[in-house]
Amino acid sequence: MRYLVDVNGVGHAVVTENGAATIDATDEVATLDVATGTPARTLRVGDRVVRVVVHAREGKGRYALDIDGHRYHVEALGERARVIQELAARSAPPAGPSPVIAPMPGLVVRVNVAVGDTVTAGQGVLVMEAMKMENELRASAAATVKSVRVTPGTAVEKGTVLIELE
Protein backbone atom coordinates (compact mmCIF):
# COMPACT_ATOMS: atom_id res chain seq x y z
CA MET A 1 0.00 0.00 0.00
CA ARG A 2 1.19 3.53 -0.75
CA TYR A 3 1.09 6.20 1.98
CA LEU A 4 1.76 9.91 1.83
CA VAL A 5 3.57 10.83 5.03
CA ASP A 6 4.31 14.33 6.33
CA VAL A 7 7.14 14.54 8.86
CA ASN A 8 7.35 18.02 10.42
CA GLY A 9 5.87 19.44 7.20
CA VAL A 10 8.10 17.54 4.75
CA GLY A 11 6.26 15.09 2.48
CA HIS A 12 7.44 11.53 1.75
CA ALA A 13 6.00 8.68 -0.28
CA VAL A 14 6.09 5.37 1.61
CA VAL A 15 5.21 2.02 0.06
CA THR A 16 4.56 -0.90 2.41
CA GLU A 17 4.82 -4.53 1.40
CA ASN A 18 5.26 -7.68 3.54
CA GLY A 19 5.88 -5.67 6.74
CA ALA A 20 8.63 -3.51 5.21
CA ALA A 21 8.45 0.04 3.91
CA THR A 22 10.34 1.74 1.10
CA ILE A 23 10.67 5.51 1.56
CA ASP A 24 10.70 7.93 -1.41
CA ALA A 25 11.52 5.08 -3.84
CA THR A 26 15.05 4.73 -2.41
CA ASP A 27 16.79 1.43 -1.92
CA GLU A 28 16.60 1.82 1.87
CA VAL A 29 14.00 -0.42 3.44
CA ALA A 30 12.56 0.39 6.87
CA THR A 31 10.86 -2.07 9.20
CA LEU A 32 9.04 -1.23 12.40
CA ASP A 33 8.73 -3.92 15.06
CA VAL A 34 5.28 -3.70 16.57
CA ALA A 35 5.15 -4.41 20.30
CA THR A 36 1.80 -4.79 22.00
CA GLY A 37 0.86 -2.84 25.12
CA THR A 38 3.63 -0.27 24.84
CA PRO A 39 4.23 2.82 22.67
CA ALA A 40 7.94 1.86 22.24
CA ARG A 41 8.97 0.40 18.88
CA THR A 42 12.19 -0.57 17.15
CA LEU A 43 12.76 0.96 13.72
CA ARG A 44 15.31 -0.58 11.38
CA VAL A 45 16.44 1.47 8.39
CA GLY A 46 19.08 -0.42 6.43
CA ASP A 47 21.62 -1.51 9.06
CA ARG A 48 20.67 1.21 11.61
CA VAL A 49 18.39 0.45 14.56
CA VAL A 50 16.54 3.26 16.32
CA ARG A 51 14.19 3.24 19.32
CA VAL A 52 10.91 5.09 18.58
CA VAL A 53 8.17 6.05 21.04
CA VAL A 54 4.86 6.54 19.23
CA HIS A 55 2.15 8.82 20.63
CA ALA A 56 -1.22 8.99 18.87
CA ARG A 57 -2.46 12.54 18.30
CA GLU A 58 -5.94 13.85 17.61
CA GLY A 59 -7.04 13.12 14.06
CA LYS A 60 -6.78 10.18 11.72
CA GLY A 61 -3.21 9.07 10.96
CA ARG A 62 -1.59 11.73 13.20
CA TYR A 63 1.26 10.81 15.55
CA ALA A 64 4.11 12.29 17.52
CA LEU A 65 7.33 10.24 17.35
CA ASP A 66 10.13 10.57 19.90
CA ILE A 67 13.43 9.49 18.31
CA ASP A 68 16.83 10.08 19.90
CA GLY A 69 15.55 12.98 22.02
CA HIS A 70 13.76 14.70 19.15
CA ARG A 71 10.00 14.90 18.60
CA TYR A 72 8.62 14.54 15.07
CA HIS A 73 5.01 15.33 14.14
CA VAL A 74 3.81 12.83 11.58
CA GLU A 75 0.66 12.44 9.53
CA ALA A 76 0.43 9.17 7.61
CA LEU A 77 -2.52 8.65 5.29
CA GLY A 78 -3.16 6.28 2.43
CA GLU A 79 -3.34 7.93 -1.01
CA ARG A 80 -7.13 7.71 -1.13
CA ALA A 81 -7.59 9.19 2.36
CA ARG A 82 -5.18 12.04 1.49
CA VAL A 83 -7.11 12.89 -1.69
CA ILE A 84 -10.39 12.92 0.26
CA GLN A 85 -8.82 15.16 2.93
CA GLU A 86 -7.55 17.63 0.29
CA LEU A 87 -10.94 17.74 -1.45
CA ALA A 88 -12.69 18.39 1.86
CA ALA A 89 -10.24 21.20 2.69
CA ARG A 90 -10.86 22.87 -0.68
CA SER A 91 -14.63 22.81 -0.20
CA ALA A 92 -14.56 23.95 3.45
CA PRO A 93 -15.99 27.38 4.21
CA PRO A 94 -13.47 30.12 4.94
CA ALA A 95 -12.22 30.27 8.51
CA GLY A 96 -13.28 33.07 10.78
CA PRO A 97 -16.55 34.82 11.49
CA SER A 98 -19.13 35.11 8.73
CA PRO A 99 -20.40 38.52 7.65
CA VAL A 100 -23.97 39.39 8.61
CA ILE A 101 -26.01 39.03 5.42
CA ALA A 102 -29.64 40.00 4.74
CA PRO A 103 -31.61 36.72 4.75
CA MET A 104 -34.48 38.38 2.82
CA PRO A 105 -35.34 41.75 1.24
CA GLY A 106 -36.25 44.31 3.88
CA LEU A 107 -35.61 47.59 5.64
CA VAL A 108 -32.86 48.16 8.21
CA VAL A 109 -34.53 49.39 11.43
CA ARG A 110 -31.61 49.48 13.92
CA VAL A 111 -27.89 48.90 13.88
CA ASN A 112 -26.75 47.83 17.37
CA VAL A 113 -22.98 47.92 16.77
CA ALA A 114 -20.29 50.26 15.46
CA VAL A 115 -16.92 49.70 13.79
CA GLY A 116 -14.40 48.39 16.35
CA ASP A 117 -17.02 46.90 18.70
CA THR A 118 -16.41 43.40 20.01
CA VAL A 119 -19.36 41.03 19.63
CA THR A 120 -20.04 37.57 21.04
CA ALA A 121 -21.51 34.58 19.24
CA GLY A 122 -25.28 34.98 19.09
CA GLN A 123 -25.27 38.69 19.94
CA GLY A 124 -27.90 40.75 18.10
CA VAL A 125 -26.12 43.21 15.82
CA LEU A 126 -28.88 44.53 13.54
CA VAL A 127 -32.67 44.60 13.29
CA MET A 128 -34.41 44.59 9.93
CA GLU A 129 -38.08 44.65 9.01
CA ALA A 130 -39.50 42.31 6.41
CA MET A 131 -43.19 41.67 5.74
CA LYS A 132 -44.15 43.89 8.72
CA MET A 133 -42.09 41.77 11.13
CA GLU A 134 -38.85 42.78 12.86
CA ASN A 135 -36.02 40.26 12.62
CA GLU A 136 -32.91 40.48 14.79
CA LEU A 137 -29.78 39.34 12.98
CA ARG A 138 -27.01 37.90 15.15
CA ALA A 139 -23.25 37.41 14.95
CA SER A 140 -22.30 33.81 14.10
CA ALA A 141 -19.10 33.91 16.16
CA ALA A 142 -17.17 36.12 18.55
CA ALA A 143 -15.51 38.85 16.48
CA THR A 144 -14.71 42.52 16.01
CA VAL A 145 -16.90 44.68 13.78
CA LYS A 146 -14.82 45.53 10.70
CA SER A 147 -17.41 47.62 8.85
CA VAL A 148 -21.09 48.53 8.96
CA ARG A 149 -22.38 48.91 5.40
CA VAL A 150 -25.92 50.12 6.15
CA THR A 151 -27.75 52.70 8.25
CA PRO A 152 -31.29 52.68 9.67
CA GLY A 153 -33.80 53.27 6.87
CA THR A 154 -31.72 51.50 4.21
CA ALA A 155 -33.70 49.11 1.97
CA VAL A 156 -31.71 45.95 1.22
CA GLU A 157 -32.05 42.92 -1.04
CA LYS A 158 -31.59 39.31 0.00
CA GLY A 159 -27.85 38.46 0.17
CA THR A 160 -26.65 42.02 0.82
CA VAL A 161 -23.66 42.16 3.20
CA LEU A 162 -24.79 44.33 6.11
CA ILE A 163 -21.95 44.02 8.63
CA GLU A 164 -18.43 42.65 8.15
CA LEU A 165 -16.76 40.91 11.10
CA GLU A 166 -13.14 39.92 11.64
Percentage above 90 pLDDT, the chain: 37
The pLDDT mean for the chain works out to 86
Residues 40-55: pLDDT tens digits? 888 887 788 888 888 8
- Residue 23, C-beta contacts closer than 8 angstroms, at least 6 positions apart: 12, 13, 14, 30
Question: What is d(CA 98, CA 154) in angstroms, rounded to the nearest whole number?
Answer: 21
Measured CA distances, 48 to 16, 43, 53, 160 (Å): 19, 8, 16, 63
Mean pLDDT of 13-35: 73
Q: Are residues 11 and 83 in the same domain?
A: yes
CATH number for the domain spanning 29: value is 3.30.700.30
pLDDT at 95: 66
Q: Are residues 115 and 83 in the same domain?
A: no
Least confident piece of the model among 92-96, 117-121, 136-140, 161-165: 92-96
Q: Are residues 105 and 143 in the same domain?
A: yes
Q: Are residues 114 and 150 in the same domain?
A: yes
Whole-prediction pTM: 0.46
Q: Are residues 82 and 120 in the same domain?
A: no
Question: What is d(CA 100, CA 129) in angstroms, rounded to the nearest whole number?
Answer: 15
Are 125 and 112 in contact by the 8 Å Cβ rule? The answer is yes
CATH number for the domain spanning 147: value is 2.40.50.100
Single residue among 42, 58, 91 that ends a domain in this structure: 91
Residues 62-82: pLDDT tens digits? 889 898 888 988 888 888 888
How many distinct structural domains can be found in the chain?
Answer: 2
Single residue among 25, 60, 91 that ends a domain in this structure: 91
Q: Are residues 12 and 80 in the same domain?
A: yes
Identify the band that residue 60 occupies on the pLDDT scale cut at 50, 70 and 90.
confident
Question: H helices within 92-156, ranges in order?
Answer: none
Residues 101-136: pLDDT tens digits? 999 999 999 999 999 999 998 999 999 999 889 999
Single residue among 91, 124, 155 that ends a domain in this structure: 91
Strand-pairing partners, residue 134, are 129
Q: Are residues 73 and 13 in the same domain?
A: yes
Q: Are residues 109 and 152 in the same domain?
A: yes
Which residues span the domain enclosing 69? 2-91
Are 77 and 91 in contact by the 8 Å Cβ rule? The answer is no
